[in-house]
Structure 1
Amino acid sequence: MFKNYTMNQLVLPLDLEVKLQTNDIAFHVHHLVESIPHEAFESFLRNEGCPAYHPRMMLKVILCAYTQSVFSGRKIEALLKDSIRMMWLAQGYEPSYRTINRFRVHSEVKELIRQCFVQFRCQLIEEKLIDQEAIFIDGTKVEANANKFTFVWKKSVDKYHQSLIEKSNQLYEELLEKEIMPEIEREGEDELSPEELAQMVQKVDEVVSDYDKKIEELQDAKDRIALRSERKFPKQAHKKLIDFIVRKRKYQKDFEIFGTRNSYSKTDHDATFMRMKDDYMKNGQLKAGYNVQVATEGQYALAYSLFANPTDTRTLIPFLDIIEQDYFELPKHIVADAGYGSEQNYDDILSNRKREALITYGMYIKEQQKKYKQNKFNAANWQYDEENDVYTCPNEKRLLFKYHSVRTDKAGFTRNFKVYECEDCSGCPFRSLCTKAKEGNHRKLMVNEKWEQQKEYVRTKLSDEKTGSIYRQRKIDVEPVFGFLKANLRFTRFSVRGKLKVENEMGLALMAVNLRKFTANR
């Protein structure tokens, strides 16, 4: 005996919601998108043409697909035909893959994604899943949707650009020397602009045209050969000048794309070449990618942003600005690893934002080692006389204060140093162990008092029981989010190009991670 099975009879219920489990992820997607204020969707309203799909429905469909590790527009379209949860969220509508792709890269969708993060955080607070005591910040590199060998390097472009400047200046001088063209008004003495090169082309072209007319008028073959010989240099110069203009404009465009970066990809101009951890060949291969910065609490991503620079140090301040401006007020503690530890970052958090920085610095772990503390040639272990402002080296020689030094980095941040110099290093038995300075030069010591105070502040905070436990939580809070993103969700490469589009996709992927974890915890 079998259970009744027939293909010719209508089966109830028709309401697809009944077929979903009580804690299905589709319900959480639905509630999250429905919590977004109505005003956020007003920018999508259009009075002309065919009525569009509702942006709430489109956002639900794409978010739900991302939670199932489906990122392709065509595969999302296929899910709308055979997935019960997708059918329920779309309420029978079946937008094409073109419509789906256009929607998720739309500039207005960025605001909807931001609202998703804001509303999701409010929900976490209501259910007391986060305590708003600290945020944990870290970054990861995600490969861009760009071809592998399409890199353009700033140093290489600069090298060829300098060569072009020299050649164009040299050709200009030759044309003046041979009186082929008169002197032109130049904006700068160092290089010729494309407009000035275009003026040179016009004047040289007039000279070549004059030669052509004279050659046509002459009957004698020898005279025509002589004129052709004279015309050779202006014709070659004309060809070179046109090539110079094309190259000059190309290099200028390259420098505009570079901005402050050192490289970019020809297939995704916003992507920068970075070293990725998934380097299977172990040969240091560079890939085009983006540096994704994420702020988490309770293993939930609460805010994110994308940056072009591969290092994390200079991303912290702009990322904190974005969090305060677009997401939420910063909590009391800001926690990050040693990659963010710098004088500028500490100064910004402690002085400007009035928050506590639980961020280690590069030498923090090494300073805890017994070998480091017992090394008598390490200047950090030297005896310091605060009253006389004097350091004493292992050979009992005094290092006296000499002068102040100010250094400015590429970002324009200035650091102040006090320079000390040994009174006499001659004949020191420890010289080879203490300094690499040449014979006759005395040992110098540069001390940044502000940096030393900041490091002491960090050591004090991390040795405290409460703040130390908050910092130790960093590894189990922010790192799992990247694991969920890349291993569980299998989101390891962007499927769109351009920073604005990539930001939308990253937001959808991180929110999909949040929804999956939230559903699993429920």
Structure 2
Amino acid sequence: MSRFIEGQSRTQSTLFPEVLDDYIHEDNPIRAVDMFINSLGLSDLGFARCQPANTGRPSYSPATMLKIYLYGYLNRIQSSRRLEKETQRNVELMWLVERLTPDFKTIADFRRDNGNAIQQVCKRFVLICRELNMFTDAIVAIDGTKFKAVNNIAKNYSRGLIKTCIETTEKDIANYLMELDRADRQSRTEDAEKLKGKLAKLQARLVSEKTIQQELETLPDKQISYTDPDSRRMALKHKGVLVGYNVQAAVDTKYHLILAHYVTNNPSDRHQLVPMSQHVQQALGRQQITILADRGYDDSTSFKTVHEAGVTAIVPKIRTSANRKKGLFTKEDFVYNKEKD
């Protein structure tokens, strides 16, 4: 007899076959997702194809597709192809969508066509939490993170970068002209033809770069992205650069739920306290709130604005002195003692 724990035989038959619902525990959060989505009026939220067509092949219900999307969000599954596989092998998801298996294209199209409606679902969830008095403390923490855009870094130009590109191209053209003169003097006909072809490409590139330079001068921030026009070049905390967005999020300090988010192409968090406080006030439906943030949000003008709007902002002051890095004392190391003065 084996001393290991043994499982049941795969070919063992039972008198009463188990149903799929038996595999989902009563406390499983997926049941809450099912109840939440079933309680929504999806047509009122703006979802497309809520009414099935009378002709043609039947389509998947928006509720089914939304359940797949939310399940992927809760379990960090972003790929539509992975979600397609999960509907075929994941017991929780099989239970949630009643064994339906949409293909990845259907899942991707749903996400693309219903972006605004999905945002309304998030707002409805926050409203339900408000009705349950989950946000009575009205204390939130905000922070920003950099999200990479579709735009490749090679397709993003700034005034300084395009100036460097033009200078490099002009140097290359000058070098090719010198090489072309040398080839002509030495009667190297084949080499001269190759050099002329390369020179023509460089001259065309120079024209394109100067066109970009002129276009940059008309833009307020002197930066342009061609694939994703709204994206901007941003420095990362631990060095490096990406072209993307600064996504601001506000999280409830008690239940750690995201109350509001805000997307900007401003790489700095310094001026984001005001718009984020407005989004949080709107989400909570109240003016008197407390916001916690890191020193990246330290801005006296923003403090004044949010204070007048009823917001208590708790933000550490920016350290402007470099003495601590040098091993020296800073202002924080000195405390006034009134009794011993």
- Residue 303 (structure 2) pairs with residue 346 (structure 1): yes
Is the 1:261–1:309 contact (alpha carbons within 8 Å) kept by the matching residues of 2? no
Letter in 1 for 2:92: R
Gap runs ≥5 in structure 2: 167-203, 322-329
Report the Cα distance in structure 2 between the residues aligned to 1:313 and 1:67, rounded to whole angstroms: 30
Q: TM-score, normalised by structure 2?
A: 0.68
Tell me the equivalent position of 1:274: 234
Answering whether residue 115 of structure 2 is matched by residue 109 of structure 1, we say yes
Change beyond 3 A, Cα 1:77–1:4: closer
TM-score (norm 1): 0.47
How much is the aligned-residue C-alpha RMSD, in angstroms? 4.1
Residue by residue, what CA displacement relative to the aligned partner does 1:434-482 show, whole Å, maximum 9, x if unpaired? xxxxxxxxxxxxxxxxxxxxxxxxxxxxxxxxxxxxxxxxxxxxxxxxx
In structure 2, the partner of 1:359 is: 315
**Paired positions, count:** 289
**Where does residue 159 of structure 2 map in the other structure?**
154
Q: Deviations over 1:419-445 (max 9, x none)?
A: xxxxxxxxxxxxxxxxxxxxxxxxxxx
Structure 2 SS opposite 1:26:
helix
Verify: 1:54 aligned to 2:61, yes or no.
Answer: yes
1:370 alignment partner in structure 2: 334
Is 1:87 aligned with 2:51? no
Per the alignment, residue 74 of structure 1 pairs with 81
Larger relative contact order (C-alpha < 8 A, sep ≥ 6)? 1
Corresponding residue number in structure 1 for 2:258: 301
Partners of 2:30 and 2:73 lie apart in 1 by: 12
Identity %: 22
Any conservation in 2 of the 1:138–1:295 contact (CA below 8 Å)?
yes
**1:136 corresponding residue in structure 2:** 141
| Equivalent of residue 99 in structure 1, options 76, 85, 106 | 106
Q: Which has the larger radius of gyration?
A: 1
Tell me if 1:20 matches 2:24.
Answer: yes
* Secondary structure class of the residue paired with 1:21: coil
CA contact (8 A) 1:338 1:359 kept: yes
Cα offset for 1:157?
Answer: 3.8
Please state how far the C-alpha of 1:346 moved relative to its aligned partner.
Answer: 1.6
Match of 2:191 in 1: none
Q: Does 1:313 align with 2:270?
A: yes
Q: Of Structure 1 and Structure 2, which has the larger fraction of its residues in helix?
A: 1
Shift of 1:367: 4.5
**Could you tell me how far apart the structure 2 residues matched to 1:88 and 1:251 are?**
57
Partner residue in 2 for 1:288: 243
CA–CA distance in structure 1, aligned partners of residues 333 and 222 of structure 2: 37
Deviation string 1:268-312 (CA, Å, 9 cap, x unpaired) is 4433222223x4xxxx32122321211111222111122211110
Instruction: Name the CA shift for 1:253/1:77 in 2 (closer, same or farther; >3 Å).
Output: farther
Q: CA separation of 1:344/1:49 partners in 2, compared to 1, >3 Å: closer, same or farther?
A: farther
Unaligned runs of 5+ in 1: 162-241, 375-522
Is contact 1:114-1:327 (8 Å) kept? no
Looking at structure 2, the residues matched to 349 and 141 of structure 1 have their Cα atoms a distance apart, in angstroms, of 24
